[in-house]
Amino acid sequence: MPLTGTIDKNGRFKPLWPRYDPEIIALGQAYVDRETGLPVAERLALPPLTLMQATLQEALQSVETATSNENQRAVSATDYTTALSAIKPLLDDALTQLKGKYSKNPAQLRDYGLDTKIGKRGDVLVARPTNDKGWIQFATHYVEQETLLLPNQRIVDPPLARITELTAIITTNLQARNSGASQRSIGVENRSEAVSRLMDYLQLAAFALVALRFDRKVTNDLELWGFKVVEKSTPEQATPPDQPPVPPA
């Protein structure tokens, strides 16, 4: 169960807690700025200012890391998609020529990363890639196999240099995209943990201010530390004290 506490239950005002990471971080920054500007003797002892500063910096860093990884993932995904779209028609042309070149022995096309199967008449059938993974496999093996041949034995058009260039872009950005997605997941997890701790400390600070500085009353003075204070729509009534039983008449 979460640890909770209540002060000034029947008061006129209540704090309005931030819900989203940017709002929590903004509150943390406002709080730190306020405490930093006070004389040391007037600062809250709990939570310590140094702890609040360190937690705020950790939250800011984790948000920056998550954003950076997401940007990397987005750029890599765009470059990957563009290169893949450009290479497919080139590989389609190359596949047509390979089928002609190895028409007497289509099984050799397995070396090019292409799937083959035996047809009903016992002949070898070469399957055209049907998904991105298949096209990338074909591109990678195509570059390897064509590079092994002498220049006069290679397919001239599409140029091997162009397919090699696009294949390098695809494989590099595929790795970067996957790495960015993984790092983004880690960054989001770290960010959430750091921001969650920052929120806990801010609530503790508000509790301490009300209890120790404002005579156990929630007031607008909390806004000096960045907290948002609103008036309750329906004042909460105090629980009446227990009354002794009325003796029978």
pLDDT tens, 108-126? 899 999 988 887 776 778 8
Rg (CA), the chain: 33
Give mean pLDDT, residues 45-57: 94
**pTM here?**
0.55
- Three-class DSSP category at 238: coil
State pLDDT tens for residues 126-178. 889 999 999 999 999 999 999 999 989 999 999 999 999 999 999 988 887 76
Q: What integer best gives the mean pLDDT of the chain?
A: 85
Q: How far are the Cα atoms of 29, 52, 191 from residue 200, in angstroms, in the given order?
A: 14, 10, 14
Give mean pLDDT, residues 205-224: 92
Distance CA 228, CA 221 (A): 10
pLDDT level of residue 246 (50, 70, 90 thresholds):
very low
pLDDT value at residue 237: 44
Residue 218 token pair: 């929630």
User: Residue 222's closest CA among 7, 2, 13?
Assistant: 13
- Alpha helices by DSSP H, the chain: 21-36, 49-101, 132-148, 160-212
Give mean pLDDT, residues 181-208: 80
In terms of residues, how long is the chain? 249
pLDDT of 1 above 60: no
